[in-house]
Amino acid sequence: MAVKVLVVDDSSFFRRRVSEILEQDSGIEVIGFAVNGREAVDKTAQLRPDVITMDVEMPVLDGISAVKEIMASNPTPILMFSSLTRAGASATLDALDAGAMDFLPKKFEDIARNNDDAIKLLQNKVKEIGRQRNGRIIRAPAAPSLKPAPSTSERFAHKPIVQPDRSFKSASPTPSSSTSTRASGKQYQLIAIGTSTGGPVALQTILTQLPANFPHPILLIQHMPAAFTPAFATRLDSLCKIKVKEAQQGDRLQPGCAYLAPGGQQMMVEGRGSNRTLRVFEDKNERVSYKPSVDITFASVAKAYQGDVLAIILTGMGADGRDGARMLKQTGATIWAQDEKSCVVYGMPQAVASAGLANENIGLHDVAARLKREVGFG
Protein backbone atom coordinates (compact mmCIF):
# COMPACT_ATOMS: atom_id res chain seq x y z
CA MET A 1 0.00 0.00 0.00
CA ALA A 2 1.31 3.43 -0.96
CA VAL A 3 2.39 5.91 1.73
CA LYS A 4 -0.10 8.79 1.64
CA VAL A 5 1.52 12.23 1.93
CA LEU A 6 0.25 15.73 2.67
CA VAL A 7 2.64 18.38 1.27
CA VAL A 8 2.67 21.68 3.19
CA ASP A 9 4.46 24.79 1.91
CA ASP A 10 3.46 28.36 1.05
CA SER A 11 5.52 28.20 -2.16
CA SER A 12 3.59 26.76 -5.11
CA PHE A 13 6.90 25.97 -6.81
CA PHE A 14 8.17 23.95 -3.85
CA ARG A 15 4.84 22.14 -3.39
CA ARG A 16 4.94 21.11 -7.04
CA ARG A 17 8.60 20.11 -6.87
CA VAL A 18 8.15 17.94 -3.78
CA SER A 19 5.02 16.36 -5.21
CA GLU A 20 6.71 15.52 -8.52
CA ILE A 21 9.67 13.94 -6.72
CA LEU A 22 7.54 11.87 -4.37
CA GLU A 23 5.19 10.58 -7.05
CA GLN A 24 8.09 9.25 -9.11
CA ASP A 25 8.01 6.45 -6.52
CA SER A 26 5.10 4.06 -6.93
CA GLY A 27 5.14 3.48 -3.19
CA ILE A 28 4.15 7.08 -2.45
CA GLU A 29 0.89 8.93 -3.14
CA VAL A 30 0.47 12.68 -2.60
CA ILE A 31 -3.12 13.06 -1.39
CA GLY A 32 -3.26 16.78 -0.72
CA PHE A 33 -1.61 20.16 -0.31
CA ALA A 34 -1.70 22.96 2.26
CA VAL A 35 -0.37 26.50 1.86
CA ASN A 36 -0.01 27.41 5.54
CA GLY A 37 0.08 25.84 8.96
CA ARG A 38 -3.60 26.38 9.71
CA GLU A 39 -4.62 24.64 6.53
CA ALA A 40 -2.18 21.83 7.36
CA VAL A 41 -3.89 21.23 10.70
CA ASP A 42 -7.32 21.14 9.04
CA LYS A 43 -6.28 18.90 6.15
CA THR A 44 -4.50 16.47 8.48
CA ALA A 45 -7.79 15.92 10.29
CA GLN A 46 -9.67 15.65 6.99
CA LEU A 47 -7.28 13.48 4.92
CA ARG A 48 -5.48 11.45 7.60
CA PRO A 49 -2.13 11.21 5.74
CA ASP A 50 0.57 8.73 6.68
CA VAL A 51 3.26 11.42 6.42
CA ILE A 52 3.33 15.22 6.28
CA THR A 53 6.14 17.22 4.69
CA MET A 54 6.20 20.66 6.32
CA ASP A 55 7.97 23.95 5.73
CA VAL A 56 9.08 25.83 8.84
CA GLU A 57 8.32 29.40 7.77
CA MET A 58 4.73 29.93 6.59
CA PRO A 59 2.01 32.57 6.96
CA VAL A 60 -1.11 32.37 9.13
CA LEU A 61 0.39 29.58 11.29
CA ASP A 62 4.09 28.71 11.14
CA GLY A 63 5.34 25.16 10.75
CA ILE A 64 6.44 24.67 14.35
CA SER A 65 3.06 25.79 15.71
CA ALA A 66 1.32 23.55 13.18
CA VAL A 67 3.41 20.57 14.30
CA LYS A 68 2.38 21.18 17.91
CA GLU A 69 -1.32 21.32 17.01
CA ILE A 70 -1.14 18.25 14.78
CA MET A 71 0.69 16.20 17.38
CA ALA A 72 -1.89 17.21 19.98
CA SER A 73 -4.95 16.43 17.83
CA ASN A 74 -4.01 13.96 15.08
CA PRO A 75 -0.46 12.67 15.69
CA THR A 76 1.22 12.03 12.33
CA PRO A 77 4.85 11.50 11.28
CA ILE A 78 6.19 14.85 10.04
CA LEU A 79 9.26 15.55 7.91
CA MET A 80 10.38 19.17 8.16
CA PHE A 81 12.15 21.20 5.48
CA SER A 82 14.59 23.77 6.80
CA SER A 83 17.13 26.29 5.58
CA LEU A 84 20.78 25.64 6.40
CA THR A 85 21.26 28.75 8.51
CA ARG A 86 21.74 29.43 12.22
CA ALA A 87 18.09 30.41 12.44
CA GLY A 88 17.16 27.35 10.39
CA ALA A 89 19.03 25.09 12.79
CA SER A 90 17.16 26.68 15.69
CA ALA A 91 13.83 26.21 14.00
CA THR A 92 14.58 22.61 13.12
CA LEU A 93 15.53 21.72 16.69
CA ASP A 94 12.32 23.43 17.83
CA ALA A 95 10.35 21.37 15.30
CA LEU A 96 11.85 18.17 16.71
CA ASP A 97 10.90 19.49 20.14
CA ALA A 98 7.34 19.96 18.92
CA GLY A 99 7.13 16.40 17.63
CA ALA A 100 8.49 16.29 14.08
CA MET A 101 10.20 13.00 13.30
CA ASP A 102 12.96 14.10 10.95
CA PHE A 103 14.16 16.93 8.71
CA LEU A 104 15.88 17.71 5.42
CA PRO A 105 17.47 20.88 4.07
CA LYS A 106 15.16 22.73 1.71
CA LYS A 107 17.91 23.05 -0.90
CA PHE A 108 18.13 19.50 -2.18
CA GLU A 109 21.64 20.08 -3.53
CA ASP A 110 22.77 20.41 0.09
CA ILE A 111 21.78 16.86 0.99
CA ALA A 112 23.34 14.72 -1.73
CA ARG A 113 26.11 14.57 -4.31
CA ASN A 114 23.70 14.84 -7.24
CA ASN A 115 20.04 15.34 -8.00
CA ASP A 116 19.27 11.64 -8.36
CA ASP A 117 20.69 10.90 -4.91
CA ALA A 118 18.69 13.77 -3.40
CA ILE A 119 15.49 12.49 -4.97
CA LYS A 120 16.08 8.98 -3.67
CA LEU A 121 16.92 10.25 -0.18
CA LEU A 122 13.67 12.21 0.06
CA GLN A 123 11.62 9.29 -1.21
CA ASN A 124 13.28 6.85 1.17
CA LYS A 125 12.84 9.12 4.19
CA VAL A 126 9.14 9.58 3.46
CA LYS A 127 8.60 5.84 3.04
CA GLU A 128 10.60 4.97 6.13
CA ILE A 129 8.85 7.36 8.49
CA GLY A 130 5.52 6.47 6.87
CA ARG A 131 6.00 2.92 8.08
CA GLN A 132 6.14 4.22 11.64
CA ARG A 133 2.48 5.21 11.72
CA ASN A 134 1.60 1.72 12.89
CA GLY A 135 4.86 1.25 14.77
CA ARG A 136 5.83 1.87 18.34
CA ILE A 137 5.09 4.61 20.89
CA ILE A 138 8.10 6.81 21.67
CA ARG A 139 8.17 8.68 24.98
CA ALA A 140 11.04 10.98 25.91
CA PRO A 141 10.52 12.86 29.19
CA ALA A 142 11.63 16.42 29.60
CA ALA A 143 15.17 16.95 30.78
CA PRO A 144 15.71 19.88 33.14
CA SER A 145 18.30 22.50 32.32
CA LEU A 146 21.35 21.86 34.46
CA LYS A 147 23.40 24.97 33.73
CA PRO A 148 22.73 28.71 34.06
CA ALA A 149 20.08 30.18 31.79
CA PRO A 150 21.47 31.25 28.41
CA SER A 151 21.63 34.81 27.18
CA THR A 152 19.04 36.05 24.73
CA SER A 153 21.47 35.66 21.85
CA GLU A 154 22.12 32.00 22.76
CA ARG A 155 18.62 31.02 23.72
CA PHE A 156 17.83 29.36 20.40
CA ALA A 157 20.41 26.65 21.05
CA HIS A 158 19.45 25.76 24.61
CA LYS A 159 15.90 24.52 24.46
CA PRO A 160 15.60 20.84 25.35
CA ILE A 161 14.24 18.51 22.70
CA VAL A 162 11.30 16.66 24.21
CA GLN A 163 9.29 14.38 21.97
CA PRO A 164 5.60 14.05 22.81
CA ASP A 165 3.84 10.71 22.94
CA ARG A 166 3.24 9.54 19.40
CA SER A 167 -0.11 7.80 19.54
CA PHE A 168 0.13 6.95 15.83
CA LYS A 169 2.53 4.24 17.00
CA SER A 170 0.03 1.87 18.49
CA ALA A 171 1.15 -1.61 17.59
CA SER A 172 2.22 -4.07 20.26
CA PRO A 173 5.93 -3.57 20.95
CA THR A 174 8.54 -6.21 20.47
CA PRO A 175 10.05 -7.08 23.84
CA SER A 176 13.67 -6.09 24.37
CA SER A 177 16.16 -8.92 24.39
CA SER A 178 18.15 -7.19 27.13
CA THR A 179 17.69 -9.04 30.40
CA SER A 180 21.01 -8.45 32.16
CA THR A 181 21.13 -5.84 34.89
CA ARG A 182 24.62 -6.48 36.20
CA ALA A 183 27.79 -4.81 35.03
CA SER A 184 30.10 -7.02 33.00
CA GLY A 185 33.15 -5.97 35.00
CA LYS A 186 34.99 -5.01 31.84
CA GLN A 187 37.26 -1.96 31.86
CA TYR A 188 36.71 0.76 29.24
CA GLN A 189 38.58 3.79 27.99
CA LEU A 190 36.01 5.24 25.59
CA ILE A 191 32.27 5.33 24.82
CA ALA A 192 31.24 5.80 21.17
CA ILE A 193 27.62 6.42 20.08
CA GLY A 194 26.30 6.46 16.50
CA THR A 195 22.81 7.50 15.41
CA SER A 196 20.69 9.14 12.71
CA THR A 197 16.91 9.62 12.51
CA GLY A 198 15.58 10.15 16.04
CA GLY A 199 19.09 10.67 17.34
CA PRO A 200 18.77 14.20 18.76
CA VAL A 201 16.10 13.08 21.20
CA ALA A 202 17.84 9.79 21.97
CA LEU A 203 21.17 11.46 22.68
CA GLN A 204 19.56 14.03 24.94
CA THR A 205 17.71 11.30 26.81
CA ILE A 206 20.97 9.48 27.56
CA LEU A 207 23.48 12.28 28.05
CA THR A 208 21.38 14.36 30.45
CA GLN A 209 21.46 11.46 32.91
CA LEU A 210 25.25 11.13 33.08
CA PRO A 211 27.19 12.62 36.02
CA ALA A 212 29.72 15.43 35.61
CA ASN A 213 32.51 13.09 36.74
CA PHE A 214 31.73 10.44 34.11
CA PRO A 215 35.05 8.60 33.84
CA HIS A 216 35.47 8.34 30.06
CA PRO A 217 35.34 10.52 26.96
CA ILE A 218 32.32 10.02 24.68
CA LEU A 219 32.26 10.29 20.89
CA LEU A 220 28.94 11.22 19.27
CA ILE A 221 28.30 10.59 15.58
CA GLN A 222 24.91 12.01 14.54
CA HIS A 223 23.93 12.32 10.90
CA MET A 224 23.27 16.06 10.67
CA PRO A 225 24.15 18.96 8.31
CA ALA A 226 27.12 21.20 9.08
CA ALA A 227 24.93 24.19 9.96
CA PHE A 228 23.12 22.20 12.65
CA THR A 229 25.83 20.53 14.72
CA PRO A 230 27.13 23.70 16.46
CA ALA A 231 23.63 24.56 17.69
CA PHE A 232 22.96 20.97 18.72
CA ALA A 233 26.23 20.69 20.67
CA THR A 234 25.53 23.98 22.43
CA ARG A 235 22.04 22.86 23.33
CA LEU A 236 23.23 19.55 24.73
CA ASP A 237 25.98 21.27 26.71
CA SER A 238 23.41 23.55 28.33
CA LEU A 239 21.34 20.57 29.47
CA CYS A 240 23.98 18.09 30.57
CA LYS A 241 26.21 17.77 33.62
CA ILE A 242 28.98 16.47 31.40
CA LYS A 243 30.57 18.86 28.91
CA VAL A 244 29.40 18.58 25.28
CA LYS A 245 31.22 20.29 22.42
CA GLU A 246 31.45 20.12 18.66
CA ALA A 247 34.67 18.25 17.91
CA GLN A 248 37.63 20.19 16.56
CA GLN A 249 40.87 19.17 14.93
CA GLY A 250 43.42 18.25 17.58
CA ASP A 251 41.00 17.93 20.51
CA ARG A 252 42.59 15.82 23.24
CA LEU A 253 40.03 13.36 24.60
CA GLN A 254 39.08 14.08 28.20
CA PRO A 255 36.88 12.17 30.69
CA GLY A 256 33.43 13.62 31.23
CA CYS A 257 33.34 15.29 27.83
CA ALA A 258 31.27 14.33 24.78
CA TYR A 259 32.59 15.27 21.33
CA LEU A 260 29.97 15.71 18.58
CA ALA A 261 31.24 15.03 15.07
CA PRO A 262 30.79 18.15 12.89
CA GLY A 263 28.24 17.84 10.12
CA GLY A 264 29.71 17.43 6.66
CA GLN A 265 33.05 16.17 8.00
CA GLN A 266 34.61 13.01 9.36
CA MET A 267 35.90 12.46 12.89
CA MET A 268 38.64 9.97 13.68
CA VAL A 269 40.81 9.13 16.69
CA GLU A 270 44.55 9.22 16.19
CA GLY A 271 47.43 8.21 18.41
CA ARG A 272 47.78 5.81 21.31
CA GLY A 273 47.77 6.02 25.10
CA SER A 274 47.69 9.53 26.57
CA ASN A 275 48.40 11.05 23.15
CA ARG A 276 45.06 10.26 21.56
CA THR A 277 43.54 13.22 19.74
CA LEU A 278 40.74 13.84 17.26
CA ARG A 279 41.27 14.29 13.57
CA VAL A 280 38.43 16.27 11.97
CA PHE A 281 38.55 16.65 8.20
CA GLU A 282 36.54 17.14 5.03
CA ASP A 283 35.99 13.87 3.21
CA LYS A 284 35.95 14.30 -0.57
CA ASN A 285 35.42 10.60 -1.24
CA GLU A 286 32.16 10.50 -3.22
CA ARG A 287 31.67 6.84 -2.35
CA VAL A 288 31.16 7.73 1.32
CA SER A 289 27.45 8.31 1.88
CA TYR A 290 27.54 9.76 5.40
CA LYS A 291 29.49 12.75 6.63
CA PRO A 292 29.99 12.17 9.50
CA SER A 293 30.11 8.40 9.18
CA VAL A 294 29.71 6.08 12.14
CA ASP A 295 31.71 3.41 10.32
CA ILE A 296 34.69 5.69 9.78
CA THR A 297 34.80 6.86 13.39
CA PHE A 298 34.31 3.35 14.77
CA ALA A 299 37.08 2.00 12.52
CA SER A 300 39.53 4.56 13.86
CA VAL A 301 38.44 3.81 17.42
CA ALA A 302 39.06 0.10 16.88
CA LYS A 303 42.64 0.91 15.88
CA ALA A 304 43.30 3.44 18.65
CA TYR A 305 41.62 1.68 21.58
CA GLN A 306 41.41 -1.97 20.55
CA GLY A 307 38.78 -3.67 22.72
CA ASP A 308 38.55 -1.08 25.52
CA VAL A 309 35.44 0.48 23.99
CA LEU A 310 31.70 0.42 24.60
CA ALA A 311 29.99 1.29 21.31
CA ILE A 312 26.27 2.03 21.13
CA ILE A 313 24.13 2.15 17.97
CA LEU A 314 20.93 4.14 18.38
CA THR A 315 17.88 4.78 16.19
CA GLY A 316 18.48 5.65 12.54
CA MET A 317 17.89 4.78 8.90
CA GLY A 318 20.28 2.61 6.95
CA ALA A 319 23.18 0.49 8.14
CA ASP A 320 25.91 3.00 8.99
CA GLY A 321 27.83 1.63 11.96
CA ARG A 322 27.52 -2.06 11.10
CA ASP A 323 30.94 -2.37 9.46
CA GLY A 324 32.59 -0.25 12.13
CA ALA A 325 30.91 -2.30 14.84
CA ARG A 326 32.25 -5.45 13.21
CA MET A 327 35.80 -4.07 13.36
CA LEU A 328 35.32 -3.12 17.00
CA LYS A 329 33.87 -6.52 17.81
CA GLN A 330 36.94 -8.21 16.33
CA THR A 331 39.11 -6.32 18.84
CA GLY A 332 36.96 -7.43 21.77
CA ALA A 333 34.88 -4.26 22.16
CA THR A 334 31.36 -4.35 23.62
CA ILE A 335 28.47 -3.40 21.30
CA TRP A 336 25.01 -2.32 22.39
CA ALA A 337 22.10 -1.71 20.02
CA GLN A 338 18.91 0.19 20.81
CA ASP A 339 15.95 -2.17 20.80
CA GLU A 340 13.25 -2.06 18.14
CA LYS A 341 10.53 -1.02 20.56
CA SER A 342 12.13 2.30 21.45
CA CYS A 343 13.57 3.26 18.04
CA VAL A 344 12.08 5.96 15.84
CA VAL A 345 13.55 4.04 12.90
CA TYR A 346 14.90 0.55 13.49
CA GLY A 347 17.51 0.56 10.74
CA MET A 348 21.02 1.07 12.08
CA PRO A 349 20.46 -0.97 15.27
CA GLN A 350 18.76 -3.71 13.28
CA ALA A 351 21.72 -3.91 10.90
CA VAL A 352 24.07 -4.42 13.85
CA ALA A 353 21.78 -6.86 15.65
CA SER A 354 21.01 -8.90 12.51
CA ALA A 355 24.72 -9.27 11.83
CA GLY A 356 25.14 -10.84 15.27
CA LEU A 357 27.34 -8.00 16.51
CA ALA A 358 25.25 -6.69 19.41
CA ASN A 359 26.09 -7.98 22.88
CA GLU A 360 22.76 -6.58 24.01
CA ASN A 361 19.65 -4.85 22.67
CA ILE A 362 18.57 -2.19 25.14
CA GLY A 363 15.58 0.15 25.41
CA LEU A 364 16.39 3.84 25.08
CA HIS A 365 15.28 4.72 28.60
CA ASP A 366 17.46 1.97 30.05
CA VAL A 367 20.67 2.97 28.28
CA ALA A 368 21.85 5.70 30.68
CA ALA A 369 21.30 3.60 33.80
CA ARG A 370 22.96 0.59 32.21
CA LEU A 371 25.86 2.73 30.99
CA LYS A 372 26.49 4.21 34.42
CA ARG A 373 26.36 0.80 36.00
CA GLU A 374 28.69 -0.66 33.36
CA VAL A 375 31.38 1.95 34.01
CA GLY A 376 31.07 1.81 37.79
CA PHE A 377 28.40 4.40 38.71
CA GLY A 378 25.76 2.34 40.46
Catalytic (active site) residue 320? yes
| Active-site residue, from 196, 238, 293, 300 | 196
Single-letter code of the amino acid located at 56: V
The b/e string for 236-256 (b: 16+ C-beta within 10 A; e otherwise) is bbbbbebbbbbbeeebebeeb
Phi, psi at residue 349, to the nearest 5°? -65, -35
Q: Is 196 a catalytic residue?
A: yes
Helix-, strand-, coil-residue percentages of the chain, each rounded to 5: 35, 20, 45
- The catalytic residue among 9, 94, 251, 320 is 320
Q: In whole angstroms, give the CA distance from residue 263 to residue 246.
A: 9
3-state SS class at 2: coil
Residue 11 CA to residue 14 CA, distance in Å, equals 5
| Residues 218/191, Cβ–Cβ less than 8 Å | yes
* Catalytic residue chosen out of the listed positions 9, 94, 178, 223: 223
List Cβ<8 Å contacts ≥24 apart for 252-258: 252/276, 252/277, 253/190, 253/217, 253/277, 253/278, 254/217, 255/213, 255/214, 255/215, 255/216, 255/217, 256/212, 256/213, 256/214, 256/215, 256/217, 257/217, 257/218, 258/207, 258/217, 258/218, 258/219, 258/220
Strands (E), 134-281: 190-195, 218-222, 243-246, 257-260, 266-270, 277-281
Cα dist. 79→55, 329, 368 in Å?
A: 9, 35, 28
Give the C-alpha distances (Å, rounded to integers) separating 219 from 140, 141, 214: 22, 23, 13
Q: Is 42 a catalytic residue?
A: no
Helices 86-98 and 229-239: crossing angle in degrees, nearest 10, is: 50
Q: Which residues are catalytically annotated?
A: 196, 223, 320
